[in-house]
């Protein structure tokens, strides 16, 4: 019931991801008092559908519907801009801006007919996951975050160049996750960078026993004891067809990206000693072979703060 002792209106026809195109202004609180945020394109319902339709819940949450440029829209659709949740039925460049979330009374929302923003079960799941991800990101320890910054920058720059070899192979990586083998209770942390691959991309061998690395590939990867960079490996991955070659190239890519993780010049002792052995290790793993037990020990690596 509302404060006015009137019934909460039924929003049975509404669901998460719906657009309320006529609602073009949201209230906020500022240092000088009440303010407003323009939502020229309308707003998107971000509350869960069960809360939207439940008549015991008086309020719902909404975010402005915004249009992004092509580059940022591409990053956001791939999940690399957690600030934004894609609204597919509005078009490829339209998103809910989750940095701005306002609470409105259902009696007010009921004045605006809903327009479907999500049509399929997959779209519904992805939008819900995007909202959850925005507020569920892991806060890496202060002495670890600077280690990851160089890698985050490389991933972000690669994502902005989808036609480059590196940009293309990033599409085969479902997620980048950081694993703390012994947990996050105290430093130093035994860290691994995991490239979680889309199913079917990374060859999987019985009992995890792959054949020996081909001689030609081994000599190419490790010339004069120096590993190839992620760009060199990406170029070769685009033309590699043999499963065993792709298996070792993905492994080499994981390690080449892990090598980027290092503290900045002039870092203090606590930061320099925050990672076991002074290095993050790399590993490529197929999503089909990634156990839930291991998943629970890892944290998603996001690049949103660089954008």
Task: Please indicate, yes or no, whether residues 59 and 85 belong to a single structural domain of this protein.
Answer: yes
Residue 7 lies in a domain: no
Task: Note whether 156 and 306 are within 8 A (CB).
Answer: yes
Instruction: Look at residue 302 and tell me whether its pLDDT is greater than 80.
Output: no
152 and 282 part of one domain? yes
> In this structure, is residue 226 part of a structural domain?
yes
pLDDT value for 285: 93
Instruction: Looking at the structure, tell me whether residues 274 and 176 fall in a common domain.
Output: yes
Tell me the pLDDT band of 207, cut-offs 50, 70 and 90. low
- Rg over CA atoms, the chain: 23
Asked if residue 23 belongs to a domain, the reply is yes
Is 265 among the domain residues? yes
Q: What is the pLDDT of residues 285-296, one digit of tens each?
A: 999 889 988 888
Shared domain check, 300 and 271: yes
**Inside any domain, residue 8:** no
Query: Domain containing 283: what range?
Result: 145-306
Task: Name the domain count of the chain.
Answer: 2
Which domain-ending residue is among 136, 153, 171? 136
| Distance from C-alpha of 12 to C-alpha of 10, rounded to nearest angstrom | 6
The answer to whether position 202 is within a domain reads: yes
Q: Which of 136, 153, 182 is the last residue of a domain?
A: 136
More confident residue, 8 or 23: 23
Same-domain pairing of 272 and 130:
no
Q: Is residue 44 part of a domain?
A: yes
Same structural domain, 157 and 258: yes
The closest alpha carbon to 256, from 224, 232, 223, belongs to: 232
Which positions ≥6 away from 305 have C-beta within 8 Å?
none
Same domain as 168, residue 84: no
- Residues 221 and 156 occupy one common structural domain: yes
pLDDT of residue 1: 37
User: What pLDDT does residue 307 have?
Assistant: 43
Residue 259 has pLDDT above 50, yes or no: yes
Whether the CB-CB separation of 228 and 221 falls below 8 Å is answered with: yes
Look at residues 136, 167, 182 and tell me which one is the last residue of a structural domain. 136
- For 32-86, write each residue's pLDDT tens digit: 888 899 999 999 999 999 999 998 899 999 999 999 998 888 878 877 788 899 9
Do 186 and 115 lie in one domain? The reply is no
Tell me the CATH number at 86: 2.30.30
Asked if residue 11 is part of any domain, the answer here is: no
Shared domain check, 24 and 84: yes
125 lies in the same domain as 256: no
Check whether 3 has a pLDDT greater than 60. Answer: no
Q: How would residue 225 be classed by pLDDT, with cut points 50, 70 and 90?
A: low
Is there a single domain that holds both residue 48 and residue 170?
no
């Amino acid at each position: 019931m509302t404060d006015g002792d009137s019934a909460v209106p039924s929003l049975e026809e509404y669901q998460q991801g719906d657009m309320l195109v006529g609602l073009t202004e949201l209230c906020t609180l500022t240092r000088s008092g009440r303010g407003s945020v323009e939502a020229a394109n309308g707003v998107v319902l971000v509350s869960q559908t069960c809360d939207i339709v439940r008549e015991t819940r008086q309020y719902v949450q909404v975010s402005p519907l915004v249009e992004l440029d092509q580059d940022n829209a591409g990053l956001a659709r791939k999940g690399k801009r957690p600030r934004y949740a894609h609204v597919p039925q509005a078009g490829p460049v339209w998103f809910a801006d989750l940095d701005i979330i306002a609470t409105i009374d259902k009696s007010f929302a009921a004045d605006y007919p809903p327009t479907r923003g999500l049509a399929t079960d997959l779209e519904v799941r992805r939008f819900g996951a995007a909202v959850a991800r925005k507020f569920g990101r892991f806060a890496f320890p202060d002495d670890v975050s600077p280690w990851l910054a160089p890698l985050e920058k490389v991933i972000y720059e690669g994502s902005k160049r989808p036609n480059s070899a590196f940009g293309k192979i990033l599409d085969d990586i479902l997620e980048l996750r950081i694993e703390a083998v012994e947990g996050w209770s105290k430093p130093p942390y035994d860290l691994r960078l995991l490239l979680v691959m889309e199913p079917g991309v990374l060859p999987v061998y019985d009992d995890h026993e792959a054949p020996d690395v081909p001689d030609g590939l081994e000599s190419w990867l490790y010339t004069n004891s120096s590993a190839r960079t992620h760009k060199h490996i990406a170029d070769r991955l685009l033309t590699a067809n043999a499963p065993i070659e792709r298996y070792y190239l993905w492994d080499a890519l994981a390690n080449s990206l892990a090598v980027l993780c290092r503290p900045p010049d002039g870092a203090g002792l606590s930061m320099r000693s925050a990672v076991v052995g002074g290095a993050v290790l790399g590993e490529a793993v197929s999503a089909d072979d990634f156990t839930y037990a291991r998943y629970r020990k890892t944290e998603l690596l996001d690049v949103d703060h660089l954008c």
